[in-house]
Structure 1
């Protein structure tokens, strides 16, 4: 993908309340729901999302979705057309997995482009229970989104659950120019 100018915005709030073309879900590999962002998206989006995920598991993703990959389903009751599910890496102090985290953003944006999405909302992938340090996660997210957004995507919105995450993403945006 050719790097293009995309607007990167920050929102402090709940990703399930965003009105966008695609909401990115920090999913687990099972695609069948879980805690955190994944659980919130499944709860608010309703049973259509889980049905679509089960269909994916029954067809192309029998063993689940690999870390760093992305796949789309309906958004159910969310104010979006699609949910793009991506599986972030668990942070490791002994192994550099930053390429896998960058792949989550890159692959989600690739899928968004294939769908024709113009606006995409991301959580801070892997920075919750998967333990990724917020500063580094923000840097990787901002850099990858800026470099990988397809032409169809005009806005990448990072929806951050708390003030600390917002401040760290703000710093990453400032550092990237």
Structure 2
């Protein structure tokens, strides 16, 4: 079966997939944007599960560029993969490599857990300020790389919040 890559405009919390990706903060404590929406929709069980994860250093359960998996709780998705994207400081502080690492680590968790479908928001493009077009290019490049060894993955969704993001993803997916 061929791996399908697609972009759609939707609320990521409504997608009945094996996993959705949360653009989280390092403490995995919930926040604004996608992170807050996922925490609200998943319910208090998600907060409890995140709090039970060990801290790597004070207030950090998931360092920037890494990813961890939890249950989906009240979401239609079976799992949530939390990843912490970089804050944009102009691009010369390792942001592209850190963002690419987010995607690679999410794909690795998906393969390790035998997941078939995964949806990503535009990681770091909200309050972290990453320029959308640059982030989309990295996301799609990493998805194409993951497609070389998809494991159990058969569907990667780029879930867009708004028509501008949808257009950006579709343009890159179409090769232009």
What's the TM-score bracket when you normalise by the shorter of the two chains?
over 0.9
What is the CA–CA distance in structure 1 between the aligned matches of 2:7 and 2:98, rounded to whole Å?
23
In structure 1, runs of 5+ residues without a counterpart are none
What is the CA–CA distance in structure 2 between the aligned matches of 1:125 and 1:167, rounded to whole Å?
16
Residues 121, 157 of structure 1: 8 Å contact kept: yes
What residue in structure 2 maps to residue 53 of structure 1? 50
Indicate yes or no: 2:14 matched with 1:10: no
Residues 5, 146 of structure 1: 8 Å contact kept: no
What residue in structure 2 maps to residue 138 of structure 1? 136
Question: In the TM superposition, what whole-angstrom CA distance separates every residue of 1:101-143 from its partner, at most 9, and x where no partner exists?
Answer: 0111110110111111100010010011111111111110011
Moved runs in structure 1, 4+ residues, more than 6 A? Answer: none
Q: 1:40 aligns with which of 37, 41, 59?
A: 37
In structure 2, runs of 5+ residues without a counterpart are none
Residue 12 of structure 1 and its aligned partner are, at CA, apart by 0.3
What residue in structure 1 maps to residue 121 of structure 2? 123
CA RMSD of aligned residues (A): 1.5
Change (3 A) 1:131 1:19: same
Question: Which 10-residue stretch deviates more, 14-23 or 59-68?
Answer: 59-68
How many equivalent pairs are there? Answer: 171
Q: TM-score, normalised by structure 2?
A: 0.92
Q: TM-score, normalised by structure 1?
A: 0.92
What residue in structure 2 maps to residue 151 of structure 1? 151
